[in-house]
Amino acid sequence: MAADAPHPAFEPYAAEAVPQAPVGSPGKDGVLDLRFAATADGTALVRDYATAPFHVSGTLGHDPHPRATTVFVQSSTGGVAQGDRREVTVAAEDDAVAVVTTGSATKVQSMTRNYAAESVRLEVGADAHLDYVPEPTILHADTRFCQDLSLDVAPGGTAVVGDVVVPGRLARGERFAFERYLSRVEATGPEGLLFADATHLAPADADPSAPGVLGEFAVYGTLFVVAPDADTDALSDDLHAAVTDADGRAAATELPNSAGVVVRALGDRAADVESAVHTAWDAARRELLDAPAPSGRRF
């Protein structure tokens, strides 16, 4: 799954030239490469490579887990524009504990030509743990956005991957005005494929508010808790109980191949869905690491 190999639904967009700055020009191909390693003093960021629009200004040590470190990824632009291609790689080496998030929501700007894409690759070493939980993605009117995420987990490794999608600037009455959104997630372990998941929304082709899709709700969130060596049946029950009283709707279920648990949350407001996702993240961290999830502190 790569940003330069678009899904068939995005192929017609790929043929459209971008008049302002073509695909591949400086600032259009953002690359972020982070690597964390365990040391005697805890987890350290040992590789930090970023090109525009990505920026990393170091690590924070406010995580409740004593061996964890946190990186807030910043952006030098106002959002994701047409023709942007972003490639993110995050690796947590053996025994490392790391959290990667963003300093603000990712705003996918309105488009008239081409599309935007992001490819994310996460690698978790033996007995390591990685949290990849960015701030929400906001899809402005007429956006075309494709996101691929692949996760590889070594024996004893665990990961939490979160995502909240807001279908427009809701305060302005913009709701499901984007053109197409595709998110694909694929996880592998030592024995091969653990699970694959996809969300593909195109409001002009099918109403996202139809029963069985998002229904009465607008904002949705997903949290994948990947822990192939854990008791996923008990973990699923614990996470489901944690989000039962969430505003909107939220529930948890086991992933295929005993890979872990997935939590889905729906709501009318981004804050409600973010709260449900964070509640599930907190419960998962307590089960996997015996430590709560970090707060949203950015300083």
Cα separation values, 156 from 36, 93, 125, 207, 216, Å: 17, 12, 8, 41, 40
Least confident of 40-44, 107-111, 213-217: 213-217
Residue given tokens 């400086």 in the structure block:
26
Q: Quick count: other Cβ atoms within 10 Å of Cβ 55? A: 15
Please state the separation of Cα 116 from the chain's center in Å: 16
For residues 78 and 200, what is the distance between their CA atoms, to the nearest angstrom?
25
Residue 76 covered by a domain: yes
Give per-residue pLDDT as tens, 195-204. 999 999 999 9
Question: Using CB atoms within 10 A of its CB, is residue 15 exposed (0-12), middle (13-18) or buried (19+)?
Answer: exposed
Residue 181 covered by a domain: yes
Residue 294 covered by a domain: no
Give per-residue pLDDT as tens, 121-149. 999 999 999 999 999 999 999 999 999 99
pLDDT exceeds 70 at position 22: no
Tokens representing 244 are 């039962």
Residue 223 covered by a domain: yes
Give per-residue pLDDT as tens, 156-176. 999 999 999 999 998 888 899
For residues 86 and 265, what is the distance between their CA atoms, to the nearest angstrom?
26
For residues 105 and 40, what is the distance between their CA atoms, to the nearest angstrom?
34
- Number of structural domains (the chain) is 1
Confidence class for position 295, pLDDT limits 50, 70, 90: confident
Confidence class for position 215, pLDDT limits 50, 70, 90: confident
Residue 296 covered by a domain: no
Residue given tokens 């009318």 in the structure block:
268
pLDDT exceeds 50 at position 2: no
Residue 253 covered by a domain: yes
pLDDT exceeds 90 at position 246: no
For residues 225 and 227, what is the distance between their CA atoms, to the nearest angstrom?
6
Peptide bond into 134 cis (omega under 30): no
| Residue 174 φ/ψ, nearest 5 degrees | -85, 115
pLDDT of residue 28: 77
Confidence class for position 36, pLDDT limits 50, 70, 90: very high
Give the domain extent around 32.
Answer: 8-289
Q: Quick count: other Cβ atoms within 10 Å of Cβ 134? A: 20
Residue 112 covered by a domain: yes
In terms of C-beta distances under 8 Å and separation of at least 24 residues, what long-range contacts does 253-258 make, across chains too?
Answer: 255/194, 255/195, 255/224, 255/226, 256/194, 256/195, 257/193, 257/194, 257/195, 257/228, 258/228, 258/232
pLDDT exceeds 70 at position 33: yes
Residue 2 covered by a domain: no
What mean pLDDT is predicted for residues 11-17?
Answer: 91
Nearest Cα neighbor of 160 from 193, 126, 128 is 128
